[in-house]
């Protein structure tokens, strides 16, 4: 860690981010502006999540970083190594062992505990951004809890497709008050946010916003009485561990249309394999997959 403060950020920046985090926890789902710093990696690679993690992290913490559920992809490996180097903290790939989990686009399959904190990397914190480009206007819409346009957007999906066709970043209402973007997690993960025992923190570096969901907070995916929210997943079982209830990645295995469906959460999949669960281990041909 020579030449750097603990966890890279200077203390003044950490104080500013910490103050934003405390206000975010006090107002569940509300986006708090913060002075996002330039980090040694580009926007879009998790600068918001890294700044939140750096401000929360202590020497006794054990950090896990996942990218689309996987511990072994470039982004996850780089961020884990960044904190191992600048903070000297222990890192892990085991969801159970981690006290802080920084994530891009997934919530681990394993239920999180009260003593854990999950930090989401957020590209676009404003759930209304595609409906109303003006920041000043969306701020006012949040102030007035004026979310009719989002319901219209869902309704238009139903009239056009027969169902709500949002598969990720599915908008949620937090604590019956704020409409919130859950970051691009699959809609499959949305129910895990509801009454989660762990504290959930969200950092958007480029957009300079922090928000949070305290533990045991009501988080509802937007829906209609006659079109209740439902999750979707690929109908296959994991080819490696046989899980029929986890979120699956589709992996193309050749240029003949062959593909495999495997758990997106690598730790979950490896744990199950270690417990003796097995899948077919074989790619499936195009016809079978379709």
Partner 1 sequence: MNIDLPGFADPVAQAQSTFRAVLDALARPGTLHQAGAALTPPATLAPSTAAVLLTLVDHDTPLHIAPDCAEATAWLVFHCSTAPAESAATAAFAVARALPDLATLNTGTDEAPESSTTLVLQVAALGTGPAFTLSGPGLKSPTIFRAEGLPPDFAARWAANHALFPRGVDLILCAGTTLAALPRSISVREA
User: What residues make contact with partner 1 under the rule CB under 8 A?
Assistant: 5-6, 11-12, 14-16, 18-28, 30, 32-33, 55-59, 114, 139-140, 142-144, 175, 177-178, 195, 197, 199, 213-218
What is the SS3 assignment for 281? Answer: coil
Helix axes 47-56, 11-26, angle to 10 degrees: 100
Side-chain-facing half-sphere of 178: CA atoms under 13 Å: 25
Shortest distance, position 31 Cβ to partner 1, whole Å: 9
Shortest distance, position 244 Cβ to partner 1, whole Å: 30
- Closer residue to partner 1 in complex, CB, 10/282: 10
Q: DSSP letter at 237? A: P
Beta bridge pairs of residue 117: 100, 199
* d(C-alpha 103, C-alpha 107), whole Å: 7
Shortest distance, position 38 Cβ to partner 1, whole Å: 19
Shortest distance, position 176 Cβ to partner 1, whole Å: 10
Q: Which residues have a catalytic role annotated?
A: 29, 238, 241, 263, 269
* d(C-alpha 12, C-alpha 18), whole Å: 10
- Closer residue to partner 1 in complex, CB, 19/220: 19
What is the SS3 assignment for 80? Answer: helix
Beta bridge pairs of residue 32: 210
* d(C-alpha 105, C-alpha 189), whole Å: 9
Shortest distance, position 100 Cβ to partner 1, whole Å: 10
- Closer residue to partner 1 in complex, CB, 42/133: 133
* d(C-alpha 288, C-alpha 290), whole Å: 5
Shortest distance, position 99 Cβ to partner 1, whole Å: 10
- Closer residue to partner 1 in complex, CB, 131/158: 131
Beta bridge pairs of residue 199: 117
* d(C-alpha 108, C-alpha 93), whole Å: 11
- Closer residue to partner 1 in complex, CB, 217/266: 217
Closest CA to 238 of 275, 290, 276, 277: 277
Identify the sign of the CA torsion 266, 267, 273, 278: negative
- Closer residue to partner 1 in complex, CB, 164/199: 199
Cβ atoms within 10 A of the Cβ of 151, count? 13
């Amino acid at each position: 860690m020579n030449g750097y403060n603990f966890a890279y950020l200077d203390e003044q920046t950490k104080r500013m981010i910490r103050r934003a985090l405390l206000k975010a926890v006090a107002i569940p789902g509300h986006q708090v502006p913060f002075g996002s710093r330039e980090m040694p990696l580009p926007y879009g690679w998790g600068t918001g999540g890294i700044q939140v993690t750096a401000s929360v992290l202590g020497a006794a913490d054990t950090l896990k970083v996942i990218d689309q559920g996987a511990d072994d992809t470039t982004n996850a490996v780089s961020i884990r190594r960044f904190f191992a180097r600048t903070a000297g903290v222990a890192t892990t790939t085991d969801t159970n062992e981690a006290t802080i989990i920084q994530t891009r686009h997934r919530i681990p399959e394993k239920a999180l505990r009260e003593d854990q904190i999950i930090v989401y990397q957020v590209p676009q914190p404003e759930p209304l951004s595609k409906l109303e480009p003006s920041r000043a206007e969306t701020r006012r819409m949040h102030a007035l809890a004026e979310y009719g346009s989002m319901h219209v957007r869902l309704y238009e999906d139903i009239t056009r497709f027969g169902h709500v066709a949002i598969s990720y970043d599915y908008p949620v209402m937090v604590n019956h008050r704020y409409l919130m973007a859950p970051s691009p997690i699959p809609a499959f993960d949305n129910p895990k946010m509801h009454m989660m025992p762990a504290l959930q923190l969200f950092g958007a570096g480029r957009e300079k916003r922090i928000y949070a969901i305290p533990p045991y907070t009501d988080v509802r995916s937007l829906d209609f009485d006659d079109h209740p929210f439902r999750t979707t997943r690929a109908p296959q079982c994991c080819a490696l561990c046989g899980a029929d209830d986890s979120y699956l990645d589709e992996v193309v295995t050749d240029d003949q249309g062959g593909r495999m469906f495997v758990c997106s959460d690598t730790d979950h999949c490896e744990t199950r394999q270690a417990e003796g669960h097995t899948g077919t281990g074989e790619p499936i041909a195009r016809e079978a997959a379709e």
